[in-house]
């Protein structure tokens, strides 16, 4: 189909104008009828968040996504652009995407008056119709709405009060598209008033001159609940104008969390070297431990729940663990890099940077808390995979005074040789729930078993510079209270 090049051709083509909200509604209805996947890059919201977004768009509402950090709010807002038409016609040269049939700018109206059906038409794609702004306290009215440009006035010989002297801000440039503001409460109150005024009345004052801008735009916002009190608030008139407030959330199951992390973490990193490629393989049990770590952290009373534990934590830990395994494979000349439990411990810097601690947690320290999270997560996955399996042979080996030293730099072959010395360990590993019998997976599973037994206080674990030593657990020393109760027979308070 030939695109119209001027207004006359556009009229002859039968093109019908419609508002951006009607356009999104129409395309959304078509996708639903065709059973197309909505927001394909967003996982875990099919039964909760996405139906609410669909309802808001069908109702032609502006909307706000309210949720803690790392809950895919920005990604959802950006994917709204997929509901726009591939291309729409605009008056050529217009800074505000003027509709050829109903221009809102003085430039567009003047061009139509001067050239009529010969007015040139340009076509813009959906990507150019999505504009996003991160709200910060230093954002000004000029950034959002616009300001008088003295240079335009001088070059064109216009009065400063003439609309042709305006340098338009982000919101007018989003006309006939989507305008997204992230972290809305951080926007200064007076800027929110200006935003509300142009939404409600379609006009604004710039440098004291009233300007009429009946914009056609879908406004979408994101905010973190803690921002309402910690850094700012949404003014009541603006909040009232937002049609739908939609709550986002973290994954509600381990499988969904693993699916998100698998999608987002950069693990497909083939290295083209003269000696061959290093292939990355992440055992499922390692993915489970990393994801379980995030779930446990979200419920830890020492970690600030108002800030939340972002989904970026398991993503970063996965990438860091893979990198440690990759470094080991490169150093040892191995073709496969597969992370182990020791690689998760090597990824502690990726954990400590993602958690905000309460006062109690600050007294303990982020590094120690991170180690406890890894141990607890390993214990959960160990219980799920190896619950009911007899490890007496393994414990008897350590009970004889022997120990096992494992380093995160040891090759798979060397590590397996060390693990074979522990009677019954690899047999017990294979008798549990293990996805394959590859050497890399056996090593990862064996480390999980050792870590699980340590979490159950059946083995002692000492760590130093990437080396972990497992040995027989020593009996715990009784507390002073226990000694006193034993002496008094528990009869004295």
Give the other-Cβ count within 10 Å of 229's Cβ: 10
- Tell me which residues of the chain have a pLDDT lower than 50: 229-230
The answer regarding whether domain 7-247 maps to CATH 3.30.360.10 reads no
d(CA 344, CA 333): 21
Which DSSP state fits 423?
Answer: T
Per-residue model confidence (pLDDT) at position 485: 63
**Residue 248 half-sphere exposure toward CB, CA atoms < 13 A:** 28
Q: Where are the domains of the chain?
A: 7-247, 254-472
d(CA 210, CA 139): 21
How big is the CA angle at 21 (ends 20 and 22), to the nearest 5 degrees? 90
DSSP-based three-state secondary structure for 481: helix
d(CA 378, CA 374): 6
Q: What pTM did the predictor assign?
A: 0.85
- Identify the CA nearest to 118 among candidates 13, 7, 223, 33: 7
d(CA 381, CA 110): 69
DSSP-based three-state secondary structure for 389: coil
457: Cβ–Cβ under 8 A, 6 or more apart, which residues?
Answer: 473, 476
- The dihedral over CA atoms of 435, 439, 445, 447, expressed in degrees to the nearest 10, equals -170
Per-residue model confidence (pLDDT) at position 153: 56
Place of tokens 């959002």: 144
- Identify the CA nearest to 282 among candidates 298, 301, 263, 299: 263
Per-residue model confidence (pLDDT) at position 271: 61
Cβ(389)–Cβ(431) under 8 Å?
yes
Q: Which residues pair with 276 in a beta bridge?
A: 273
Phi-psi category of 484—alpha, beta or left, where left has phi over 0 and alpha has psi -120 to 50? alpha
Per-residue model confidence (pLDDT) at position 338: 95
d(CA 321, CA 392): 31
d(CA 344, CA 249): 25
């Amino acid at each position: 189909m030939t695109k119209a090049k001027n207004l006359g051709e556009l009229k002859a083509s039968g093109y019908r104008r419609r508002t951006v909200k009607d356009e999104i509604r129409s395309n959304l209805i078509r996708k639903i009828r065709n059973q197309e996947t909505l927001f394909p890059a967003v996982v875990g919201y099919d039964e909760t968040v996405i139906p609410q977004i669909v309802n808001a768009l069908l109702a032609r509402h502006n909307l706000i996504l309210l949720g803690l950090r790392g809950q895919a709010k920005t990604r959802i807002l950006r994917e709204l652009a997929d509901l726009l038409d591939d291309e729409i016609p605009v008056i050529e040269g217009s800074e505000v995407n003027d509709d050829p049939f109903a221009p809102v700018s003085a430039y567009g109206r003047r061009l139509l008056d001067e050239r009529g059906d010969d007015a040139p038409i340009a076509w813009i794609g959906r990507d150019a119709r999505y504009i996003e702004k991160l709200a910060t306290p230093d954002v000004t009215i000029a950034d959002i709405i616009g300001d008088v440009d003295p240079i335009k006035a001088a070059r064109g010989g216009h009065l400063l009060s003439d609309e042709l002297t305006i340098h338009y801000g982000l919101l007018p440039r989003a006309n006939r598209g989507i305008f997204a503001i992230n972290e809305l409460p951080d926007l200064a109150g007076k800027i929110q008033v200006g935003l509300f005024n142009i939404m409600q009345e379609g006009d604004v004052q710039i440098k004291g001159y009233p300007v009429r801008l009946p914009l056609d735009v879908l406004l979408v916002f994101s905010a973190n609940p803690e921002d309402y009190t910690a850094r700012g608030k949404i003014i009541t008139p603006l909040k009232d104008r937002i049609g739908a407030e939609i709550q986002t959330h973290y994954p509600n199951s381990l499988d969904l969390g693993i699916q998100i992390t698998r999608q987002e973490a950069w693990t497909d990193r083939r290295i083209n070297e003269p000696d061959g490629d290093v292939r990355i393989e992440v055992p499922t049990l390692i993915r489970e431990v990393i994801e379980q770590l995030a779930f446990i952290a979200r419920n830890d009373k020492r970690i600030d729940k108002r800030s939340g534990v972002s989904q970026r934590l398991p993503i970063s830990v996965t990438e860091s663990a893979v990198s440690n395994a990759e470094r080991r494979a490169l150093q040892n000349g191995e073709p496969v890099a597969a992370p182990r439990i020791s690689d998760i411990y090597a990824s502690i810097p990726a954990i400590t940077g993602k958690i905000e601690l309460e006062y109690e947690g600050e007294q303990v320290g982020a590094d120690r808390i991170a180690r406890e999270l890894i141990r607890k997560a390993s214990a959960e996955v160990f219980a799920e995979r190896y619950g009911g399996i007899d490890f007496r042979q393994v414990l008897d080996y350590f009970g004889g005074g022997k120990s096992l030293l494992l380093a995160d730099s040891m090759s798979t072959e060397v590590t397996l040789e060390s693990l074979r010395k522990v009677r019954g360990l690899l047999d017990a590993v294979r008798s549990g729930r293990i996805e394959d019998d590859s050497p890399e997976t056996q090593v990862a599973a064996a480390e999980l078993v050792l870590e699980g037994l340590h979490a159950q206080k059946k083995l002692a674990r000492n760590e130093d510079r990437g080396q972990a030593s497992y040995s027989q657990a020593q009996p715990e020393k009784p507390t002073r209270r226990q000694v006193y109760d034993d002496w008094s027979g528990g009869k004295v308070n």
